[in-house]
Amino acid sequence: MINKGDVVRTGPVTWEIPKTYRKDMRVPVRIFADERLLNAALKDKSLTQAVNASTLPGLVSHVTVMPDVHQGYGFPIGGVAATSYPEGVISPGAIGYDINCGVRLLASQIAYEEAEPYLDDLALQLDENCPSGVGVKGSVRLSVDDLEDVCRNGSNWALNNGYAWEDDIPSTEEHGRIRNADPRDVSPRAMERGRSQLGTLGGGNHFIEVDLVEKIFDHEAAEAMNLSEGYLVLQIHCGSRGFGHQICSDYVRDLQSAVRKYKIQLPDRELVCAPLNSPEGEAYLSAMSCAANYAFANRQVLVSHARRAFEQTFAGKVANYELTQVYDIAHNMGKIEDHQIEGKQVRVCVHRKGATRAFGPGFSELPEKYRHLGQPVLVPGSMGTASWVLLGTEGSMLQSFGSTCHGAGRTMSRKKAKKSIRGDQLRKQLMKKGIRIHAGSMAGLAEEAPHAYKDVDAVVNVVTQAGIAKKVARLRPVAVIKG
């Protein structure tokens, strides 16, 4: 385990584990945290995992650790690492099992006071329209050809099949489609798991949440996003379901032989990897892109279901119940990007696991309304606290490969959380705070207790103080749907 004495303070909210800490480190580890969040990170193996990650071949500059970091599979959740392209490696464990787990935010023109009498019904309609739970099947039935189309086209498949509005696509990261996806690189088992789960939420920390815009910090950005204080918004947090999990499982297993073939030395077999320009690395990148496109389409279908729930609840009761998309962003992804490294433009594969892309102003792929502001960043907290809308900054481009935090980050395992409180007790506590709860199981609800997470406001204060994000709005939950 790493001790606090091993970590060097480099600024008010920045720290470093130097490359000299261990002989096999190729780059240092840069940490964004205040004193309290650093102490929390030292209690699990997340920083040791970051040091292990610093041994991956082809790394450039440093491994980044976000303030919401916690221990993951091989690579810490809340970690960012960039490897040179195409000779560096790609590691499935540094991207995660829930490929393109991400968040989509939609804005409404419904004032809380206007909606409050109908929020119980809205929560019920969302729960009934949006299937949730581990292994649950959705209403969309895909043939093999359909699923291959989803793999290649992502959100564009959803648009072509009536699940999206035209304006949704440009307000989605990569316009909802990673281009190098080839379903031939996906196993039959993964394809079978993916056929029945499109348009489903899943379980664990995934959720649909109705929020109140509690406070605006950047009025120009909020106006561009159609966010207004006192009005409702909707968040959807989920990923590629069993499809992406199976793809990660397949390649974690298959790439063990690639590590031996290319004579790669690793301190942890969970960091299994392959060179990006090898047949094995290219196949994983393609399969990962299929899962990413599936996740974009999955969230888009859920948006369609959520819009139907809003219509069923508010038609004839409010003047305008439409939900307009603010943005959709991934926080488990490997992306080929160009970054300035030591004054030079370098093409790299950025691994973000529990970290959000946060590109600054001027990024050409952003919708015109956001281009001069920076990319919207969505940071959900726990269901009893708050969530944040942020903007990417030039500082994130210079310090963290255009990345920032992705949420609050766990401080307690799911097993420990279940022992700390009963689900029915938690539900009563949240209801007293005015938060309507629909959960598939009380045990699953207890796993996601707010006290099992870090203080999301503290996390956001660190990234804004460090200059790798900028505050736009704070959101407060009023209804939560969980599997």
- The reply to whether 438 belongs to the active site is no
Residue among 255, 209, 124, 174 at smallest CA distance from 379: 209
- Name the active-site residue from 305, 331, 351, 406: 406
Tell me what the mean pLDDT of segment 183-201 comes to: 97
pLDDT of residue 369: 97
Q: In which band, very low, low, confident or very high, does the pLDDT at 137 lie, cut at 50, 70 and 90?
A: confident
What is the SS3 assignment for 90? strand
CA distances from 113 to 106, 188, 232, 311, 478 (A): 19, 50, 10, 18, 12
CA distances from 464 to 103, 362, 461 (A): 20, 19, 5
Contact call for residues 42 and 4 (beta carbons, < 8 A): yes
Tell me what the mean pLDDT of segment 321-334 comes to: 98
> Looking at the predicted structure, is the pLDDT value of residue 357 above 90?
yes
For tokens 């093999």, the residue is 144
Q: Which residues lie below 8 Å from residue 145, measured CB to CB, with a gap of 6+?
A: none
CATH number of 4-411+453-482: 3.90.1860.10
What does the radius of gyration of the chain's CA atoms come to, in whole angstroms? 21
What sign has the CA pseudo-torsion 38, 43, 44, 45? Answer: positive
Beta bridge mates, 30: 16, 64
Residue among 134, 125, 163, 165 at smallest CA distance from 146: 163
Tokens of 297: 């389409």
> Looking at the predicted structure, is the pLDDT value of residue 180 above 90?
yes
At CB < 8 A and 24+ separation, what contacts does 222-227 make?
Answer: 222/389, 222/472, 222/473, 224/369, 224/370, 224/373, 225/107, 225/326, 225/327, 225/376, 225/389, 225/472, 225/473, 226/107, 226/109, 226/324, 226/326, 227/107, 227/326, 227/389, 227/472, 227/473
Task: Tell me the DSSP string of 424-446.
Answer: HHHHHHHHHTT-EEEES-HHHHH
pLDDT of residue 464: 98
Residue among 436, 437, 59, 78 at smallest CA distance from 264: 59
Q: How far apart are CA 428 and CA 432, in angstroms?
A: 6
Angle at 144 between CA 172 and CA 239, to 5 degrees: 35
Q: How far apart are CA 249 and CA 295, in angstroms?
A: 17
For 77-86, the pLDDT digits (tens) are 999 999 999 9
Q: How far apart are CA 154 and CA 149, in angstroms?
A: 8
Q: What is the DSSP letter of 455?
A: -
* Alpha helix positions (H), 378-473: 394-399, 414-420, 423-432, 442-447, 456-466
What percent of the chain is predicted at pLDDT more than 70? 100
Q: For the chain, percent helix, then strand, then coil, each to nearest 5?
A: 40, 25, 35
For 202-228, the pLDDT digits (tens) are 998 999 999 999 999 999 999 999 999
pLDDT of residue 132: 85
- DSSP-derived pairing of the beta strands 470-482 and 436-439: parallel
**Domain locations along the chain:** 4-411+453-482
Structure pTM? 0.97
114, burial (CB in 10 Å: exposed 0-12, middle 13-18, buried 19+): middle
Q: How far apart are CA 128 and CA 105, in angstroms?
A: 20
